[in-house]
Amino acid sequence: SLRVPSECGSVVSVTEGLTDSDVLVLAVPAGAHPNLPLEIMKNKIIIDVSNRPSSESFHQHNNIGESLQALLPNSHVVKAFNTLSAYALFRGIQQGTTAVPYCGNDDVAKCEVARMIRRLGFTSEDHGSIEQAKQIENIPFSFFTKWRLPVIIAITILTFFWILMFVRKRLCPLVDSGGDWTATSPEKLILQQTQHTLALTALTLLTLCYTPGVLVSYIQLHRGSRFCRLPNWMENWLKSRKELGVIALMTAAVHAVGAIADAATEHKDGDWRIYSYFICGIYSLGLMLVLGITSLPSVGAAMSWREFSFVQRYGGWWALVFAIMHVIFYKWDHLTMNLFKFVVIPHQIHLVLTLPLLTLLLKLLLLLLWLRNKCLKHGANVEESVAKDLPV
């Protein structure tokens, strides 16, 4: 490649480079830190970009950034840039929205590193003192930490409904028809029961995305303020809503494909309820696809907050309404006939509709004008009282 000497730096030795520079980027393994020319690196800003080994024992006992600061007590060590992928840097992937965490003991050194991060097109994220370097060093080794709880919830719900339908529909036909115990047919287990179980799971997960928001409104109303700390379980639930929604979208899409395959193998004479059942399912899945697409960082960044809030709020609630109607139209006879029949195991439709209908009922109560104004009035009174107590 063509080189322009006037635009290039001069080639110097390692010692000269360390001596003449005020900011040093240390890109060597942690095991080599004691062998560095520590005397030359005094009174400088040291940016440590190294990652820890993947061994669990090292992870539990070592803090690379803190150990490096102990080796260089007269220098200012800042842990940064170790969370960036070389592939992402080369391709320029998501630079505008990627946060680069950093930490250190010296404020001036951290400000210099923060400016460097912003000049590279990233967002700087201060994590405090050098003691927090261990948390930053663990970030590259994290594996779907935000998805663990939602996946566990989804698997639990899926397993519950699958066992419920297996016992009720396959092992205990006596509950519905008074017949004898019969063995289940494998083809129905593979396709029919699986896609029905996915439908029940998708509706429950979609409901769990909107239930905590309603419960928080009632908590705020009870406490008389919008500014109150929530329980830890509620905060974790709120933080998991996006992941729960994505899993609901995936299960609903798989259910739709399974329903098409199931309908292709069994002909039914259609009436208005069957057509309503299909159209409500299509509308619900379509709205969930819109919610899933707009939740992508690249798409959400191109929307204003008002646009994003409108799509997520109204689109989500209508997706839930259409999903409920989809189930009601499909199992209308089970909901309207034999209402007082006693059975040992309740029908899965009754179980799956309980939480969504309860969530909708609580939401409708919140939409009442007097209740909404009461909540806002309580919040305004608290804000006014707090403002009066603040020192001028």
Bridge partner residues of 104 (DSSP) = 78
Is 2 a member of any domain? Answer: no
Instruction: Kindly state whether residue 3 falls inside one of the protein's structural domains.
Output: no
How far is residue 59 from each of residues 52, 85, 349, measured CA to CA in Å?
A: 7, 20, 48
DSSP-assigned beta bridge partners for residue 47:
25, 78
| CATH code of 78's domain | 3.40.50.720
- Claim to verify: residue 18 and residue 157 sit in the same structural domain: no
Does 178 fall in a domain?
yes
Q: Are residues 91 and 190 both part of a single domain? A: no
Domain boundary among 141, 163, 193: 141
- CA distance linking residue 356 with residue 354, whole number of Å: 6
Do 116 and 184 sit in the same domain of this protein? no
Question: Does residue 208 sit in the same domain as residue 77?
Answer: no
On whether both 218 and 237 belong to a single domain, the answer is yes
Is 353 a member of any domain?
A: yes
Query: Quick one: 279 and 179 in the same domain?
Result: yes
- Among residues 105, 121, 141, the one where a domain terminates is 141
Q: What is the CATH number of the domain that holds 237?
A: 1.20.120
Number of domains in the chain: 2
Whether residue 248 sits in one domain with residue 207: yes
197 and 86 inside one domain = no
Q: Which amino acid is at 247?
A: I
Low-confidence ranges of the chain (pLDDT < 70): 1-9, 54-61, 87-97, 143-144, 172-191, 261-262, 264-272, 275, 298-305, 336-345, 369-392
Q: 51 with 79: CB under 8 angstroms?
A: no
- For residue 333, the model assigns a pLDDT of 72
Residue 347: inside a domain: yes
Cβ neighbors of 272 (< 8 A, separation 6 or more) are none
Q: Are residues 150 and 137 in the same domain?
A: no
Q: Is residue 332 part of a domain?
A: yes
| Rounded distance between C-alpha atoms, residue 361 and residue 363, angstroms | 5
Considering the domain architecture, whether residues 191 and 135 belong to the same structural domain is answered as: no
pLDDT computed for residue 201 by the predictor: 93
Q: Identify the domain boundary among 79, 110, 141.
A: 141
Same domain, 20 and 166: no
Q: Is 1 inside a domain boundary?
A: no
Whether residue 4 lies inside any domain: the answer is no
**Does one domain contain both 132 and 212?**
no
Burial class (CB in 10 A: 0-12, 13-18, 19+), 31: exposed
Q: CB count, 10 Å around CB of 212? A: 22
Separation of alpha carbons 292 and 88, rounded Å: 23
Domain extent, residue 83, equals 10-141
Q: For the stretch 50-63, what's the b/e string if a residue is b when 16 or more beta carbons lie within 10 angstroms of its beta carbon?
A: bbbeeeeeeeeeeb
Q: Are 213 and 221 in contact (CB under 8 A)?
A: no
pLDDT of residue 283: 76
The CA distance from 358 to 372, in Å, is: 19
